[in-house]
């Protein structure tokens, strides 16, 4: 198991990998105590068997620069293969402004190849590579040095088996003609906007029971302060205050330190100092927000007049298309999309791209009364009307 600790060694590996059709990539990182992930290890493997052409890269080694790897990520002649790539890509984008291109995510590919929704790496290793994984080192501290042999073995397995999985899925996509489906799904992962968190938009991720514009304005200001503070201090947002404390503050609207001290859910550290001052300032900003600048909740789906019979028929059609395609139903069309369509909405993901081919076209025809459904044996058939 080779561990790269110098820029020269990394450059040599990347130069050789640049001649290969693909390279598999994984990372180990820590994020429990920070807002941004701390990269602790990078695993790489070019085509080969076992540990052949596979290395560990230690980004914590003194003087090591990841520039050769970043150049490889930019090399469009080499496919960069990840599994469940989002967090890995976020690290490289936030730290270096680079998103690997072209990208292949085996979790996404496995979903469209019939392995179910959000299939895990261990499952693919068992079902495709016919191997088992030792997961005992999964939650170890990857920032400590030296790494143990068990850690190295675990980390390397995340890219060596990935070669077999990638080659199998790539062939399956070529056979089924679904490579375009994967490309559509990867558009989100390769979009830099996916990895940019703007404090002023953070409130949209907070679940609330009230849709009062004034209440939402308070949530917006509190969430923006929390996000900005967490980013500036590089600490998890929940270490500032949790969502339940945020919604409590938006309800109670404290305006003094004494008011703040009565909060049931606020952490002790948040009742004083910069956090307390930020909370009170955010509350005041929410209270002072002009009416024409208050958040407007999206109530478009709250008043949908769903046709229950049509919704049931759409579910039957989806089940038939799921069985025919082998793709998980929730990936094609979640229940909310079906209800929206049964209420007359057409701005849903199920009616776009490859989903439209698999399900959407017939779903629209069903909604418009152009087709019906019939049961023949165990199969559901489409009948032209």
pLDDT tens per residue across all 385 residues of the chain: 799 999 999 999 999 999 999 999 999 999 999 999 999 999 999 999 999 999 999 999 999 999 999 999 999 999 999 999 999 999 999 999 999 999 999 999 999 999 988 899 999 999 999 999 888 888 899 999 999 999 999 999 999 999 999 999 999 999 999 999 999 999 999 999 999 999 999 999 999 988 899 999 999 999 999 999 999 999 999 999 999 999 999 999 999 999 999 999 999 999 999 999 999 999 999 999 999 999 987 766 666 789 999 999 999 999 999 999 999 888 899 999 999 999 999 999 999 999 999 999 999 999 999 999 998 888 898 999 8
CATH of segment(s) 308-384: 1.10.150
Under 8 Å between Cβ of 206 and 219: yes
Residue closest to 13 by CA, chosen among 43, 33, 50 = 43
Helices and strands in the chain: count of H runs, count of E runs: 17, 8
- The count of other CB atoms within 10 Å of the CB of residue 151 is 20
Q: Which part of the chain is CATH 3.30.420.10?
A: 2-195
Neighbours of 91 (CB within 10 A): 19
Residue 116 structure tokens: 């179910």
- CATH code, residues 199-288: 1.10.150.80
Residue 57: CB atoms within 10 A of its CB come to 24
Cβ contacts of 340-344, under 8 Å, gap ≥ 24: 340/301, 340/304, 341/310, 341/314, 341/367, 342/306, 342/307, 342/308, 342/310, 342/311, 342/314, 342/367, 343/304, 343/305, 343/306, 343/307, 344/304, 344/305
CA–CA distance, 278 with 257 (Å, rounded to integer): 11
Q: How many CA atoms lie within 13 A of 324 on its CB side?
A: 15
**Distance of alpha carbon 208 from alpha carbon 285, whole angstroms:** 19
Torsion, CA 343, CA 346, CA 347, CA 349, rounded to 10: 100
CA-to-CA distance for 350 and 339, rounded, in angstroms?
12
How many residues appear in the chain?
Answer: 385
- In whole angstroms, give the CA distance from residue 176 to residue 183: 14
Domain spanning 2-195, CATH class: alpha beta
């Amino acid at each position: 198991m080779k561990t790269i600790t110098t820029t020269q060694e990394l450059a040599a590996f990347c130069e050789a990998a640049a001649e290969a059709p693909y390279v598999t990539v994984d990372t180990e990182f820590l994020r429990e105590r920070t807002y941004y992930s701390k990269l602790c290890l990078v695993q790489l493997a070019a085509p080969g068997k076992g540990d052949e052409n596979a290395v560990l890269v230690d980004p914590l080694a003194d003087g090591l620069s990841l520039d050769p790897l970043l150049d490889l990520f930019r090399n469009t002649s080499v496919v960069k293969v990840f599994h469940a790539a989002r967090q890995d890509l976020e690290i490289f984008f936030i730290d270096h402004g680079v998103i690997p291109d072209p990208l292949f995510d085996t979790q996404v590919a496995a979903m469209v190849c019939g392995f179910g929704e959000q299939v895990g790496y261990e499952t693919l290793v068992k079902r495709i590579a016919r191997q088992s994984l030792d997961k005992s080192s999964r939650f170890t501290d990857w920032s400590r040095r030296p790494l143990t042999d068990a850690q190295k073995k675990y980390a390397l397995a995340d890219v060596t088996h990935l070669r077999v999985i990638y080659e199998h899925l790539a062939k399956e996509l070529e056979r089924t003609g679904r490579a375009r489906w994967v490309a559509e799904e990867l558009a989100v992962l390769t979009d830099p906007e996916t990895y940019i968190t703007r404090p002023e938009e953070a409130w949209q991720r907070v679940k609330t029971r009230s849709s009062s514009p004034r209440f939402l304005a308070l949530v917006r200001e509190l969430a923006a302060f929390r996000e900005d503070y967490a980013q500036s201090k590089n600490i998890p947002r929940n270490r500032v205050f949790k969502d339940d404390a945020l919604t409590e503050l938006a309800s109670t609207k404290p305006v003094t330190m004494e008011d703040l001290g009565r909060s049931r859910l606020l952490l002790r550290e948040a009742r004083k100092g910069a956090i307390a001052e930020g909370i009170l300032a955010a509350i005041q900003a929410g209270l002072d927000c002009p009416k024409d600048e208050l958040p407007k909740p999206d109530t478009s789906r709250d008043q949908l007049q769903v046709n229950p019979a049509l919704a049931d028929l759409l579910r039957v059609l989806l089940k038939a298309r799921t069985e025919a395609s082998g793709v998980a139903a929730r990936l094609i069309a979640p229940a909310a999309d079906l209800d929206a369509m049964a209420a007359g909405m057409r701005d849903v993901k199920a009616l776009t791209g490859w989903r439209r081919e698999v399900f959407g076209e017939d779903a629209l025809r069903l909604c418009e009364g152009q087709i019906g459904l019939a049961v023949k044996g165990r199969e559901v058939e489409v009948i032209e009307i």
